[in-house]
Structure 1
Amino acid sequence: MAEEDDKRLKKRKKKRLIGADRRRRLLRLKCCVQNYDWGVLGCNSQVARMFLLNSGSYSADPDECYAEFWIGTHKSGPSFVFFGRDYNAAAIGSKPLSLKDWITVDPGAVLGDKVARKWGGDLPFLFKVLSVEKALSIQAHPDKELARALHEAQPSIYKDDNHKPEMALALTGFEALCGFISSKELKGVLSSVPEIVELVQGADAEKFSHDSEQNGKEKVKSLFESIFGQIMSSNKAMVREAICKLKRRLSLEKKKRQLSTKEQLVLRLEAQYPADVGILAAFFLNYVKLKPGEALYLGPNEPHAYISGECIECMATSDNVVRAGLTSKKRDVQALLSMLNYKQGFPEILQGVSLNEYTRKYAPPFDEFEVDRCILPVAASVSFPSVPGPSLFLLMSGKGTIVTGYSEESTFQEGEVLFVPAYMEVSVTAAATELHMYRAGVNNRFFRDL
């Protein structure tokens, strides 16, 4: 009985803390950092800089790799609600109040009714900053059906049951491998990379090299799938020998000719992950170079690997990754091979659609998210209209003033993250320096029938 009374008391405290006037509240968030070995060391990392500014810490560990700055409600790295400049945590008893706790009391009021009906008490998107020094794994993200099956079978590895479409928006020059190359390009690989041909059944390689134009699309796809599968499933000794031969050959040839960009890349990958099959897999994937302000999006079951650079990343709220190369983490090669869509061709690069002279919108074909990039010159202002879903604002640099449609005014400076509930208009004015800001929200296409 005493335990039940205690629960009721905590619930009443929670409601008093959050208050009845929830949809008018602009929230400041304290967010999570992830340290992975592919991240950028110490203070050279944009992730470290954002985390230090956001948390009020004084210095980065020079020996630590800062890889990802997470903003959202995912249980592996939740954000917490803070009130005031002194960053005193809102709390229930001794427990800090997470953004998920805040939302759960009244999801419809905070997220908007349609978002709450679809996704419950979670934000449907996870917002990140990434700093990539060393290549991430060759990987793909499962669709919803496979995500549920993987989570049920191995919950310690696949930590949720959601799919994970995502988008990377470059902050710096950004390199990635994404999607499969065309049949024409694969024919070039099979004619110029003997180390790969040695690992593939001769009949498959020959058919693809000589007959791919005569075969139908399904036959070509089947051959492509077979060749890639044979490479990824080769035993470690054969892979090690093939990569040793490849490295030796390219080291000799670069004395006589300029190596191709893909050849230069695989030598870089070999230096990071010696004898890893992902080095050979790189020949099958498109090599993408983004300029700042360009974006790449990835649907379920698409193979990819980020190589280097820094970016804003947004995705459905999930952390499910199926890996098969360029990693020391658990690999699930057969799961990856079975889930890939084997779609060929260079990926679409988003340039953003202009909303006004300061803001561009990046809207991939997924309901869960879109991202706005806003660069305000000194003293300039921009308005973000009321939308029927939640938003997250991240200030990368500069300082300014933010005013809500309910006449709430606050200063806003680099490293700060704000949660804006549904149906709240906000306007931002830059102070004495240029202001560089990003907004993540539910994709506008989700609300078209409202």
Structure 2
Amino acid sequence: MEENNNTEIKKRKRMINKPLRLQCAVKNYNWGIVGNKSHVSRLFCLNSGTHINPNEPYAEFWIGTHESGASFLDHGGLSLKEWISKNPDVLGDRVLNKWGGDLPFLFKVLSVEKALSIQAHPDKELARTLHKSQPSLYSDENHKPEMALALTEFEALCGFISLKVTHSFISDISIRLIVLSDCMDLLLALQHSITDWLGFTYGMVILQELRNVLCTVPEIVDLVGGADAEQCFPVSEFGRSQEVKAIVESIFSQILLSSRDEICEIVSRLKWRLNLEKKKRQLTDKEMLVLRLEGQYPDDAGVLATFLLNYVKLNRGEALCIGANEPHAYIRGECIECMATSDNVVRAGLTSKHRDIDAAEV
């Protein structure tokens, strides 16, 4: 009996140590790259042995256990989630203790031809609320922080217009200064000073960017009203970052909550003005992007809202990280994406799908 048990244990260990081939899911969303020009299509072809449809968009290739696109073992018919539940040791003690017997991340490859919606992924508290109230729209209770690594040149909107220096850079300065001193009082003083400096500087830069938007995009002022748009001008140059960010978020929300008739009129005027001005001057990158997005999503509030978001361009090998509740949109290019195991998306603009502005505001 003991010999049989030992044999079974050894057999299971050999199975665990042996690479297992997975059959993975593909998503053919209409924003994907068509035919064999897509990394996703070629990867899916190699994985599944199926032929590439030259007329079909290939948008996402999923590797993971999420029920919306679960991976299966190549032989035996078991899902990856079922196999892990039978072999939990493959996750390691730390993962098992923290996440239980399931893969704690979802891995994707994306091929983006047409812009995805302006969206945010909820934190855990909001995800639980949304799943409970609208399970058909929000299929799980998980948060969804994510990171994207560019496989090609990659364009995205990411976060509200803001300081280009990251918090990690400031933290690095703080650490370097702290290492030079054994004095606890100085350590605390430095931390407070850097935090204050970051708040002031962030506020100054985002305030200047917002003022620039309102001065150069009169259509936004016309839509939200002069009084609301001008609320940023009395703010001190040394206003705290949260005060300034709240103004940006307020204007962003007003744009998204405007009626379709209002948006149609304003976007039409914006398009007419930019097409006229490009005959006289070189449009900015953001202005050219707005015209491109208007061509993909006519009369969409997201076209105007784009002016309030950072426009980033990644080279191959560069990456960005997106936290919970952070507005973003992938514009064009191909990337590898890794995120918490969730498919929750709160859409706000650049979409024909359901928009949940109330959830986006939370």
Q: Aligned-pair distance for 1:25?
A: 2.6
Amino acid at match of 1:34: K
1:118 is aligned to 2:95:
no
| Residue number among 334, 337, 353 corresponding to 2:358 in the alignment | 334
Q: Within 5 A, what are the aligned runs for 1:282-321?
A: 282-321=306-345
Scaled by the length of structure 2, the TM-score of the pair is: 0.83
- The match for 2:28 is 35
Deviations 1:202-226 (A, max 9, x none): 2221221343525444432332222
| More displaced stretch, 67-76 vs 216-225 | 216-225
In structure 1, C-alpha distance between the alignment counterparts of 2:326 and 2:130, rounded to whole Å: 17
Deviations 1:293-332 (A, max 9, x none): 0001101010000000000111111111000101111110
Q: Aligned-pair distance for 1:118?
A: 1.6
Name the SS of the counterpart of 2:157 in structure 1: strand
Structure 1 or 2: more helix by fraction: 2
Q: For this pair of structures, how many residues does the alignment match?
A: 311
Q: Aligned-pair distance for 1:292?
A: 0.1
- The match for 1:139 is 119
- Contact 1:183–1:212 (Cα < 8 Å) also in 2: no
Name the SS of the counterpart of 1:252 in structure 2: helix
1:129 is aligned to 2:121:
no
- The match for 1:260 is 284
Q: Aligned-pair distance for 1:228?
A: 1.5
Quick one: structure 1 residues 118 and 266, their matched pair in 2 at CA, closer, same or farther if it must change by over 3 Å? Answer: same
- The match for 2:220 is 196
Scaled by the length of structure 1, the TM-score of the pair is: 0.67
Amino acid at match of 2:44: F
Root-mean-square deviation (Å):
1.7
- Contact 2:264–2:300 (Cα < 8 Å) also in 1: yes
Q: Within 5 A, what are the aligned runs for 1:30-429?
A: 30-57=23-50, 59-82=51-74, 89-90=75-76, 96-107=77-88, 109-181=89-161, 182-213=206-237, 215-338=239-362
In structure 2, C-alpha distance between the alignment counterparts of 1:212 and 1:63, rounded to whole Å: 55
Structure 1's unaligned 5+ residue stretches are: 1-14, 83-88, 91-95, 339-450
In structure 1, C-alpha distance between the alignment counterparts of 2:52 and 2:93, rounded to whole Å: 41
In structure 1, C-alpha distance between the alignment counterparts of 2:107 and 2:61, rounded to whole Å: 8
In structure 1, C-alpha distance between the alignment counterparts of 2:245 and 2:92, rounded to whole Å: 43
Amino acid at match of 2:106: L
Amino acid at match of 2:72: F
- Contact 2:274–2:287 (Cα < 8 Å) also in 1: yes
Quick one: structure 1 residues 212 and 140, their matched pair in 2 at CA, closer, same or farther if it must change by over 3 Å? Answer: farther
Quick one: structure 1 residues 26 and 214, their matched pair in 2 at CA, closer, same or farther if it must change by over 3 Å? Answer: closer
In structure 1, C-alpha distance between the alignment counterparts of 2:118 and 2:160, rounded to whole Å: 12
Quick one: structure 1 residues 172 and 218, their matched pair in 2 at CA, closer, same or farther if it must change by over 3 Å? Answer: closer
- Contact 1:35–1:68 (Cα < 8 Å) also in 2: yes
Amino acid at match of 2:340: A
Q: Aligned-pair distance for 1:154?
A: 1.3
RCO higher in structure (CA 8 A, sep ≥6) = 2
| More displaced stretch, 152-161 vs 286-295 | 152-161
Q: Aligned-pair distance for 1:26?
A: 1.7
Quick one: structure 1 residues 212 and 234, their matched pair in 2 at CA, closer, same or farther if it must change by over 3 Å? Answer: farther
- Contact 2:26–2:69 (Cα < 8 Å) also in 1: yes
Amino acid at match of 1:64: E
Q: Aligned-pair distance for 1:151?
A: 1.0
Structure 2's unaligned 5+ residue stretches are: 1-7, 162-205
- Contact 2:248–2:308 (Cα < 8 Å) also in 1: no
In structure 1, C-alpha distance between the alignment counterparts of 2:319 and 2:157, rounded to whole Å: 13
- The match for 2:172 is none
- Contact 1:190–1:209 (Cα < 8 Å) also in 2: no
Q: Within 5 A, what are the aligned runs for 1:431-450?
A: none
Deviations 1:109-129 (A, max 9, x none): 111122112222211111111
Name the SS of the counterpart of 1:211 in structure 2: coil
